[in-house]
Amino acid sequence: MERSLAQPQVGYCLILRERRGFRLLTASDAWQTAVVLRRTWPQLLITILLTRGLAVVALTPLVGLLLKIFLAGTETGVLTDEEILAFILHPTGLAALLVVGSVTLGILFAEQGLLMVIGYGALEDRRVTYLDSFRHVAGRWRGLLSLGAHLLVRLILLTLPFLLAAGAIYMAFLSRYDINYYLAETPAEFWWAMRLGGMLGLCLGTLLTWKISAWILALPMVLFRDVAGKDALGASAVATAGTRGLITQWLAVYLVVVGALSTLVATMLSLVGNAVVPRDTEHMVLMAIGLGCVLLLSVAGNQAVTILATVLFPITVAGFYAALASPREIEGRLPARGSLGPTPSLKIPGKAILGAGLVALSVTSLGAFWFAASVGGTDQVEVIAHRGASAAAPENTMAAFTRAIADGADWVELDVQEDAEGTVVVQHDKDFMKSAGNPLKIWDATRSDLRDIDIGSFFDPAFTQERVPDLRQVLQLAKGKVGVLIELKYYGHDEDLEARVIDLVEETGMERDIMVMSLKYDGVRKTAALRPEWTYGLLATVSMGDPTRLDVDFLAVNTAAASSRLIRNAHRRGMKVYVWTINDPVQMSVMISRGADGLITDEPALARQVIALRNGLTPLGRVVIWLAGETGLLQGLENTSPEGDA
């Protein structure tokens, strides 16, 4: 016989109130957790599917609309990189953070609340359907938003001192030279900063975990006791007094278990893939079928872990609430006690809603099928040598640019700044610590100084004669052989960089063979105002808003941002997308399959080989390569572009 769930305060949850202290999970408690999941899984599963669908259709666009409203006051409605920090520090940006963050947390609380109501109902032997749960949670939307706002404010206030301390550590240890020097050479100052930063992160993590354990009952307080959002955090802290250490242990165990399950699924999928997918191109059909099966298993396995993790948390918290918070009666708000039944009910109300959900799922599946079919054809992808062929020669040197031309690059990408004499020189960092151990700043260097700095030996003694080139030298080398993608670097010491670049391009007759980009949108627009017929792009690491709405000809984004959706949106507006910095062949192929127009790479010869291989494949073979990359079965897709590559 099934054990009764009518008295949750006695038998359920990881932490139970007793006359003298508390005890941890017992076999009986674990059994009752399993009973709750078994009896309610249909409603829990439907709730998750519907909330995820609702988030895609309505809630995510709502958050995006709110963000657009706040960004409407900016010049372009889009912010990238350093602009984001400046915006958040402005009163308008702070208001945006609070409003958008509160709504986002409110939506998260609503999803967790829906599952929590079903789980709490099961603890009281009530059969709560997903419709019952939706009605109950919807009636408390004000409390959820209020809870989100108050929690966000508290988290900001807790985190702010640590962020300030982290900034102080950065300024004290990592600000003297260019950050790329510290990342490449890892001197003693770097390790001191890492140690202090690690200690700071550990302290912040401990504090946040302790606070979260105190606030863990805030959501059920809003849902089941109608406590106002601003009071729920305090009420939760009172209810959990004396148990926070054990709750913290549970949170740690929960995270470890979820991480272990994810790792197990990934390992099993890798083993299955290696066992069933043939590795030779003579069995392309079998390879496609095998990879398709692995893809389906990957989706199913990862979704199963996600659903289990999503469900366990609110149900367990509901158990904490039942055991610790002396819950009040909720008669009349949820179905009567005794209605749960011994077995899960498959009678699903609201069939019209489910039907609409299935239609949406079908449309999504057809879209995925269309995308898979669209990866056929010949790739027209531009190969852009990142600071030259910088895997084979020191970056931003004449040797690297010469090698890029020999390797068949369509473009060489380089960085330009002004030296002390106003000459436009090719250099990425603001000093020469990484390449020559020399702290001299670019804007303080004369041409005589630059002729004495060896920027090649750090890479290989064979390049000991390499010196800092100026833009004129590179343009003369490239003329008639390769295009030049010029990145304007701004370190606050530029005088007339845009006009000087324009003069050099026109003097060398390279107007039709150059493109200009920068991390600074204002710099791009300033140059475009002078020569509107040229090709311009924005280099972006992160962004707020839709960057495809900016007035540029192309976007240069890192691999983490180069989603199929971004690329499609850009193409609809006649904009190209270049992806940086890709040195892995599988990742190159995946980005090409997603529709990227160009690969910014340290290894242009490798990119040429990948394109040639893809163009020699049948449409089925190209689908196979796409599946292999997107499933992560082959190594490389997990590699992302570090910000320092910009």
Residue 404 inside a domain? The answer is yes
Confidence class of residue 17 from pLDDT cuts 50, 70 and 90?
very low
Distance CA(356)–CA(579), nearest Å, equals: 37
Give the pLDDT band (50/70/90) at residue 355: low
Is residue 409 within 8 Å of residue 435, measured between CB atoms? no
For helices 284-324 and 27-54, give the axis angle rounded to 10 degrees: 120
Question: What mean pLDDT comes out for the span 49-64?
Answer: 79
For residue 480, give the CATH number of its domain. 3.20.20.190
The Cα 70–Cα 115 span in angstroms is 32
CA dihedral of residues 42, 45, 47, 51 (deg, nearest 10)? -160
Per-residue pLDDT tens over the stretch 330-350 = 656 777 776 776 666 656 555
- Residue 364's pLDDT is 53
Q: Is residue 122 part of a domain?
A: no
Give phi and psi for 484, each to the nearest 5.
-125, 120
Give the Cα separation of 433 and 429 in Å (integer). Answer: 9
How do residues 63-84 score in pLDDT, each as one tens digit? Answer: 888 888 888 878 888 888 878 8
Check residue 44 and give its pLDDT: 84
Residue type at 446?
Answer: T
Q: Is 552 part of any domain? A: yes
Q: Is residue 635 in some structural domain?
A: yes
Domain range holding 414?
382-645
Strands (E), 284-403: 382-386
In a domain, 526, yes or no: yes
Q: Name the phi and psi angles at 394, rounded to 5.
A: -60, 140
Specify whether the CB–CB gap between 586 and 635 falls below 8 A.
yes
Helix axis angle, 398-406 relative to 471-478, nearest 10°? 20
CA distance 133 to 118: 6
State the alpha helices, DSSP H only, in 538-582.
564-572
Tell me if 534 is assigned to some domain. yes
Residue 402 is assigned to a structural domain of this protein: yes
**Within a domain: residue 7?**
no
d(CA 49, CA 311): 12
At 292-343, the pLDDT tens digits run 677 777 777 887 888 888 888 898 888 888 888 766 656 567 777 767 766 6
Average pLDDT over residues 19-35: 52
Q: What is the token pair recorded at 560? A: 């983490």
Q: Which of 122-126, 212-216, 315-319, 474-478 has the lowest mean pLDDT?
A: 122-126
DSSP for 412-481 reads: EEEEEEE-TTS-EEE-SSSEEHHHHSEEEEGGG--HHHHHT---STTT-GGGTT--PPBHHHHHHHHTTT
Number of domains in the chain: 1
The mean pLDDT of the chain is 84
- Name the band, by pLDDT with cuts 50, 70 and 90, for residue 12: very low
Quick one: residue 326, left, alpha or beta (phi over 0 = left, psi -120 to 50 = alpha)? left
The residues with which 599 forms a beta bridge, in sequence order, are 383, 579
CA-nearest of 327, 118, 315 to 222 is 327
